[in-house]
Chains A and B, each alone.
Chain A
Amino acid sequence: MAANHAARWRMPALAELDGRLAQWLLVLVCAALSLFLLAPLAAMLVLAVQDREGNFAGLAQFAAYLEMPGLAESVWNSLWVSATVTLITVPAAFAFAYALQRSCMPGRSLLRLAGLSPLLGPSLVAAIAFIQWFGNQGALKVLMGGVSIYGAPGIILSASYATFPHALMILTAALANADGRLYEAADALGASRWRRFLTVTLPGAKYGLISAAMVVFSYTISDFGIPKVIGGNFRMLAVDIYQQVIGQQNFNRGAVVGLILLLPALFAFIVDWRMQRRAQAALTARAVPYVARPARLRDGLGLFYCTVVAGLLLAVLGMAVYTSFVTFWPYNLAPTLRHYVFGLDEAGVISAYYNSLRMAAATALLGTAFIFFTAWLLEKTRGADVLRPFLRLMAALPMGVPGLVLGLGYVIFFNAPDNPLGGLYQTMAIMVVANVVHYYSSCHLTAVTALKAIDREFEAVSASLKVSGFLTLWRVTLPVCLPAVLEIGRYLFVNAMTTVSALVFIYASHTLPAAVSILHLDEAGEIGPAAAMATLIVATSTLVCLLYAVFSHLLLRRTQAWRQARP
């Protein structure tokens, strides 16, 4: 009895500690996100209203920038090009997604992979490939009818290619969540196919369409690599930033352009965020999934369309790969490994590939751990309630910050002479952090979705059994969420491998990443080695995706005993 009493006396203190620890960790992750997301953006904001000597200048920088010749042209170009890409990509991806989700055409999983293939390489791959197809020595230059690919046409084509898989992912998800009962009701009421499409399918996918349009638009307006490689003299805002900061070392001016670029992206983010919230309410728990039935005409048309699109996408990728294996396109088509063996070495960029491998591995490992743990703290611990809305916002915000703007904020913040964290600047670590922050939002969403799907009383049960919440995270929550965790790791790895925009401001010569090195090789006219590097990246991403697929398959099989539903 005495021992029992002693145990009871100690227990509140121990239990208190467990909860306190979770709250302190919550404070810590909030601080980390403030430091690596908010502070750089704030620093950019401050710099934009200062002159080059650091005095407050109000909106003078903005005024000076607005008076610059050619600015109106940049803004207008950025807007109309992005709008055009949106108008091309979203309908194209919608038709593709519709055929994938709502038809019974054969080969859907292969076609889906082909549709997502642009994700495997940097956006520059498209620019290089289109130059090879339609450029001055292009194989299909005649098709251009005298119009140069360098400039708006090349940018539009390349950006449409690069944004297609992003739109496709959103739209397949939107079309997957259909309520079969609505279709049965429409059929029962004798609605025609076309009317059913207009009254059930389209409204059901409305939020997905808007969301896809927002993503495509903000991706295009803030992408920097494509206009740099294939844009020629065509001016766009993203290139302007690069020229101001790297070319003229004018950080104040760069900050101004950065803020201007942040506006449309943030606007898109806010619209999308509000839409998402409403969309959640639209699908009830009692919905019955829609299952497509075979229909010859629709399935045939779908197969034809998807095959053509997939062929085009693979042709773009294939051209970049092909270029890397021929001696000198288009004059000498003899196959060679020269670009790999000597080209990359001569240009001194072979180390860039290893840099990227290390960076991507670190991003995947540390990023996944941080993001999942933060999501767990947010969803499954108690207390510190004032911090939770803030943390939710911090997790969603990176979606609305273009990589280029984030990178710029990092330069401004971490390169400031009086910043005690200045030591991070020009290290591998800062690039890893930038990648994690840049790709935070969708990873967070994946983690939260997985956490919400498991029984919400696990923590209550383990507390009642006097088991620490951290132990339950380790023994139960993490194993149950492992598929989502692997998915986050794969996503982070591939994106870290392929991204250019967030890193272009913060790499140093000894940390040059592979994707950025493509930019340099292209500038030096080394198109063969550039294609070789792109191919290496694509091959690596593909390998990682394959490993992921194999590993999650094995994992699911090994854990089948408890993952299966009822016996």
Chain B
Amino acid sequence: MSYLLIEALSKRFGRFTALDRVDLSIERGEFVVFLGPSGCGKTTLLRAIAGLDRQDSGRIVQDGDDISQWPVAARDFGIVFQSYALFPNLSVADNIAYGLDNRRFDRSARARRVEELLQLVGLPGIQGKYPAQLSGGQQQRVALARALATAPGLLLLDEPLSALDALERVRLRGEIRALQDKLGVTTVMVTHDQEEALAVADRIVVMSHGRIEQVGTPREVYRAPATPFVADFIGRVNVLDGAVHERGRVQVGPHVLDCEQARDLSPGAAVRLYLRPEDITLLGVTDSAPNSFYAHVRKVEFLGAHVAVVMKPDRMEGVELTAQFSQNYLNGTELPPGAIVRVGVDRRHLRVIAGEG
């Protein structure tokens, strides 16, 4: 049985639908990330699980209890907010022990627990400091320690990293994931940063307009997006419109491309193909492998370890493709604008999204 079960959860704010009959099931010990653009309902869903924004209808079951109508204080979770919400007038130790004080911890047990938690988040010995004396990343860790102090069954993280600078963000997300692995606490994190979601999640819940677009492992949502929204929101994607030529072959402009996923589609049907920039390969100019065509280089964007190349495929009106090549892969090859290149596409990488077309 799943640890957290959400059934047909709906929530409206006035005329705005924040959650539209959302169903979701989360296993014990899982690290799940809610991902989506702002206003997609991810934070509302998290706050509904915490009981902070009560749903209009639907059910939430946690560890066998129907908690749908339980007040916040009755639910079993720890939470870290974007603002950390550390109590400014209390020392780090008092902040962390805030939830322990009413649980009859004696002084030495309390001190031991605080020390243990600070050890856990990698900040030993800062018990006496006040939040204002800490850096953003340190505050974030203290907030995490406070949320974990009471050993909750569920850890909720509401955009916990978005107030930090880029380097700190990358380091902390790794630490959070490591901590979660160590403690095994079921964790739900909300973020709008797809890279962050891909890096830490066991499963990603992609949301848009109050609905769940797809639930899957990072690999699944990236390699096999279930909807055009997911394909577009996670990573970059090229779109090619065409028509099924025969089983497993799609006509795009003058070219006929092999496409594994088009095998079950009937000839003549219009299809839209999705192609990741990194799935475009560079061939020798005279190479006439299947699924290859000529293209003119329009623009080259230098991205450090990669280059993004915007190109116009031969004889395809109004179509532009963006390819991404690592510097390693190019190995010094120059791609000046105007150059003609031959590019290929693996037939497994041309994706058709079910239900479209």
Question: What residue in chain B is nearest A461 (Cβ atoms)?
Answer: B85
Contact assessment for A458 and B90 in the assembled complex, using a CB-CB cutoff below 8 Å: no
* B8 contacts A by Cβ under 8 Å: no
Q: Which residues of A contact B72 (CB under 8 A)?
A: 15, 460, 463-464
Contact assessment for B70 and A559 in the assembled complex, using a CB-CB cutoff below 8 Å: no
Q: Which residues of A contact B149 (CB under 8 A)?
A: 465
Shortest CB distance B283–A (Å):
50
Contact assessment for B88 and A567 in the assembled complex, using a CB-CB cutoff below 8 Å: no
* B160 contacts A by Cβ under 8 Å: no
Cα A455 to Cα B163 in complex, Å, equals 14
Contact assessment for A12 and B79 in the assembled complex, using a CB-CB cutoff below 8 Å: no
Q: Which residues of B contact A471 (CB under 8 A)?
A: 102
Q: Which residues of B contact A463 (CB under 8 A)?
A: 51, 71-73
Question: What residue in chain A is nearest B156 (Cβ atoms)?
Answer: A464
Q: Which residues of A contact B71 (CB under 8 A)?
A: 12, 15-16, 18-19, 463
- Tell me if B's interface is mostly helix, strand, loop or mixed: loop
Interface size on B, residues (CB 8 A): 35
Cα A256 to Cα B336 in complex, Å, equals 89
Q: Which residues of B contact A297 (CB under 8 A)?
A: none
The interface-forming segment of A202-210, A393-401, A474-482, A516-524 is A474-482
Q: Which of B77, B131, B132, B133 contacts A464 (CB 8 A)?
A: B77
Cα A466 to Cα B90 in complex, Å, equals 18
Question: What residue in chain B is nearest A565 (Cβ atoms)?
Answer: B132
Cα A475 to Cα B327 in complex, Å, equals 57
Q: Which residues of A contact B130 (CB under 8 A)?
A: 561-562
Contact assessment for A467 and B98 in the assembled complex, using a CB-CB cutoff below 8 Å: yes
Shortest CB distance A94–B (Å):
37
* B233 contacts A by Cβ under 8 Å: no
Contact assessment for B73 and A458 in the assembled complex, using a CB-CB cutoff below 8 Å: no
Cα A464 to Cα B72 in complex, Å, equals 6
Contact status of A476 and B73, CB under 8 A, knowing A461-B81, A561-B130: no
Interface size on A, residues (CB 8 A): 33
* A418 contacts B by Cβ under 8 Å: no
* A67 contacts B by Cβ under 8 Å: no
Q: Which residues of B contact A455 (CB under 8 A)?
A: 81, 83, 85
Contact assessment for A458 and B87 in the assembled complex, using a CB-CB cutoff below 8 Å: yes
Cα A461 to Cα B147 in complex, Å, equals 8
Contact assessment for A563 and B79 in the assembled complex, using a CB-CB cutoff below 8 Å: no
Contact status of A476 and B132, CB under 8 A, knowing A16-B74, A464-B78: no
Contact status of A464 and B89, CB under 8 A, knowing A12-B74, A19-B71: no
Shortest CB distance B197–A (Å):
22
Question: What residue in chain A is nearest B94 (Cβ atoms)?
Answer: A475
Q: Which residues of A contact B217 (CB under 8 A)?
A: none
Q: Which residues of A contact B133 (CB under 8 A)?
A: 561-562, 564, 567
Q: Which residues of A contact B102 (CB under 8 A)?
A: 466-468, 471
Restricting to B26-77, which residues have a CB under 8 Å from any CB of A?
A: 50-52, 65, 70-77
Contact assessment for B88 and A466 in the assembled complex, using a CB-CB cutoff below 8 Å: no
Contact assessment for B74 and A562 in the assembled complex, using a CB-CB cutoff below 8 Å: no
Q: Which residues of A contact B77 (CB under 8 A)?
A: 464
Shortest CB distance B199–A (Å):
26
Contact assessment for A458 and B99 in the assembled complex, using a CB-CB cutoff below 8 Å: no
Q: Which of B79, B85, B88, B135 contacts A562 (CB 8 A)?
A: B88
Contact assessment for A15 and B132 in the assembled complex, using a CB-CB cutoff below 8 Å: no
* A193 contacts B by Cβ under 8 Å: no
Contact assessment for A11 and B73 in the assembled complex, using a CB-CB cutoff below 8 Å: yes
Contact assessment for B87 and A464 in the assembled complex, using a CB-CB cutoff below 8 Å: no
Restricting to A370-385, which residues have a CB under 8 Å from any CB of B?
A: none
* B101 contacts A by Cβ under 8 Å: yes
Shortest CB distance B138–A (Å):
11
Question: What residue in chain A is nearest B88 (Cβ atoms)?
Answer: A562
Contact assessment for B73 and A457 in the assembled complex, using a CB-CB cutoff below 8 Å: no
Question: What residue in chain B is nearest A16 (Cβ atoms)?
Answer: B71
Shortest CB distance B19–A (Å):
18
Contact assessment for B88 and A15 in the assembled complex, using a CB-CB cutoff below 8 Å: no
Contact assessment for B90 and A476 in the assembled complex, using a CB-CB cutoff below 8 Å: yes
User: Would you list the 3 A-B pairs with minimal beta carbon distance, nearest first?
Assistant: A465-B99, A15-B73, A562-B130
B interface residues (Cβ-Cβ under 8 A, vs A):
50-52, 65, 70-79, 81, 83, 85, 87-90, 98-99, 101-102, 130-133, 135, 146-147, 149-150, 152
In addition to A12-B70, A461-B79, A466-B102, 4 A-B residue pairs with Cβ atoms within 8 Å of each other are A14-B73, A460-B52, A562-B89, A566-B132
